[in-house]
A = this chain, B = another copy of it.
Amino acid sequence: MSDKSIPSSAVDALYGLASRRSFLRRAAATVVAGGAIAACTDSSAQSVSAKAADHSGGTTAPNPVVPSTAAAAATMDAMHEAAMKAFPAKTEGMGNQLLAARLENGVKVYELTATQIQWETAPGQKVEAWAYNDQVPGPTIRVREGDRVKLILHNKLSESTAIHFHGLELPNKQDGVTFITQPPVKPGESYTYEFTIPEGNHGSHMYHSHHNSAKQVGLGLLGAFIVEPRKPMAIEKVDADELMILNDGMHGYTLNGKSFPATVPIKVKKGQKLRIRFMNEGMMIHPMHLHGMHMTVITKDGWPVPAPWRCDTLNVAPGERWDVIVNCNNPGVWAFHCHILPHAESDHGMFGMVTALIVA
């Protein structure tokens, strides 16, 4: 590498604390993942990678400090390849699992228990999480407009908490804002919300803590609250319906609680119609870019847009929900990522807010 090159550390410095931490973890994880792959492949990149490793580690090599450009590039490529080959990587835990309701006299009853857990965002990358039912994001609640819903929150955290139903137009007492609409739910206490989903209030909503929320939502106390319409619009009759919950901050850059390569690809068949529900629970915008096909925006915060519009990059701001339709007519493995590139790739390869749409 020429001495005029900008070193990786300078690039890293631009991206700040959160991503630097991810870079370091990523780098560590990559070495492990790369090793695993080296054991089962013999691609030329891997061989070059091995040679480069000899260079940097060997004391008898003629020029151990300054590897050639080709070797340095190959070493970087090997890290990038290892990250890609690791996808989709297995990790403990899975968020967004559909929460089953208990029916009591026509009321759908849900229980959420908030606890402190360890959450694996990428292989070997465990973070402290505050979670509903041991998941980040919390379990998905899916009801229909007009449903009567009872939701019981059990607080097993060390702080008080409360749940706000973001996007639902409920009676004020059910709004979940401590000291305005309810007292805080103290450690060890339980609290019951009960309400009827208003007519017309269907769509992609969220539930999350509204007490010390910058910390509590940042640590994982959030989930999807989806309200199905009585009469779906023609455009929303789809073959697949996927969540894409964006987050940043204390857990790094995540999609549905996981960082690449532990994110889960969306798999559809050619010709299928896919709905994606974007929700931003973080503190930064994330312009999500889909390769190979465009997205048609059909709802904003659950409300149908008056005239659906198309894009390949959708800017999702904190608190927003956007639903889009993708006509999956282009076969292949398509990158799907935040286009703030430092949220998606480093010198060590792709990480963070990256997944794939696989059209087979």
Contact = CB atoms under 8 A, between A and B. Distances in A.
Interface residues of A, number: 102
Interface in A166-186: 166-167, 169-173, 175, 177-181, 183-184, 186
Interface in A229-270: 249-250
B180 A356 contact: yes
Contacts of A332: 171-173, 175, 181
Contacts of A321: 313
B128 A333 contact: no
Nearest to A295: B301
A287 B319 contact: yes
A318 B294 contact: no
A172 B292 contact: yes
Interface in A308-360: 308-313, 315, 317-321, 330-335, 339-342, 344-347, 356
Interface in A274-295: 283-285, 287, 289, 291-294
A344 B173 CA distance: 21
B17 A76 contact: no
A186 B80 CA distance: 13
B169 A330 contact: yes
A84 interface: yes
A34 B303 CA distance: 41
Contacts of A62: none
Interface stretch (A50-58, A66-74, A94-102, A106-114): A66-74
Contacts of A73: 158-160, 186-187
A1 B158 contact: yes
Given A212-B345, A287-B318, A72 B180 contact: no
A319 B341 CA distance: 9
A2 B219 CA distance: 15
Contacts of A219: 6
Contacts of A346: 214
Contacts of A187: 69-70, 73
A320 B309 contact: no
A90 interface: no
A138 interface: no
Given A160-B76, A187-B69, A215 B11 contact: yes
12 contacts: A6-B215, A72-B158, A73-B160, A80-B179, A85-B179, A171-B330, A172-B332, A175-B335, A212-B345, A214-B341, A214-B345, A315-B315
Interface of A: 1-2, 4-6, 8, 11, 13-15, 17-18, 45, 69-70, 72-74, 76-77, 80-81, 84-85, 116, 128, 158-160, 164, 166-167, 169-173, 175, 177-181, 183-184, 186-188, 210-215, 217-219, 249-250, 283-285, 287, 289, 291-294, 300-303, 305-313, 315, 317-321, 330-335, 339-342, 344-347, 356
